[in-house]
Amino acid sequence: MTSVLQTLSQDMAATVEAAGPAVVRVEGRRRVPATGVVWSADGLIVTAHHVLSRDERITVGLPDGSTRPAALVGRDPSTDLAVLRADGGGLTPAAWASGDGPGVGQLVLALGRPGRSVQATLGIVSALGESWRTPAGGQIDRYLQTDVVMYPGFSGGPLVDASGQVLGLNTSALLRGISVTVPAATVRAVADALLAHGHIRRGYLGVGAQPVRLPEALAGQIGQETGLLIASVEPGSPADAGGLMLGDTIVALDGHPVHHMDDLLALLGGDRAGKAVPVRVVRGGQVQDVTVTIGERA
């Protein structure tokens, strides 16, 4: 038994040593510094949005003890991710995991560098789930929760598996009272979008709505039982300009059924911003299509 524990201990220490060079300190707020992960050798770093209370005067602390100024490339509050560009190159990028990812019960390590040296805490994957939408409207590829203790300054740091590959970025800001990990696939997609545009493009309709059950005859006609009743239309919004009205019930957008608000938000992706799409509504008991040019949320 002793040899098994010694081997496990040595393996965990080796994992931290292997992953540590890609973990940096991020100083972008007044209180405890946070953590970031090197995205590319030329100075790109991914971290958590909420640990950056300012857009300027950001510095990163490197594993060798040196510090460098960094500029904000972009941030996405809805997924709590941000990308920085540190001056100079020569950084050690992290090895990001691909494929199916971990299973429940798998050992994982959360790494942080709120000080000069790397810190680690051990735990297991406690829950996995399907893709989910954050309270701020961001789309996360997979729900990933662990029982690792998130010490102050660990947000923005990596969750690594036993081989030292980064499974995602840890954050304590997406769900109240729960630390979750933004999976590598989501980090990759958001980072690519921020590097391309400086922000995440999201469509904007400009309605307040609530789900309602459709009359039985109408439900049978269109093949769905619920839709979204428009309770408000913002003046000057794409919905207003397109002719959507208070009391309309949205049942489809661009040919895709809409049952709940999450359905509508999922369909208002950046790829539809600026495009004219048909919005199918029930108005006065009749089904009709209204063409609306989707806006882009600032």
Task: List alpha helices for 55-183, DSSP H.
Answer: none
- What is the set of active-site residues? 50, 80, 155
Of 229, 177, 164, 186, whose CA–CA distance to 20 is shortest? 164
Dihedral pair phi/psi, residue 13, rounded to 5°: -65, -40
SS3 for 224-278, per residue? Answer: CCEEEEEEEECCCCHHHHHCCCCCCEEEEECCEECCCHHHHHHHCEHHHCCCEEE
| CA–CA gap between residue 46 and residue 74 (Å, rounded) | 10
Contact 167/144 with Cβ under 8 angstroms?
Answer: yes
Return the biggest CA–CA distance within the chain.
Answer: 75
**Structure tokens belonging to residue 76:** 């996405």
Q: How many CB atoms lie within 10 A of CB 212?
A: 14
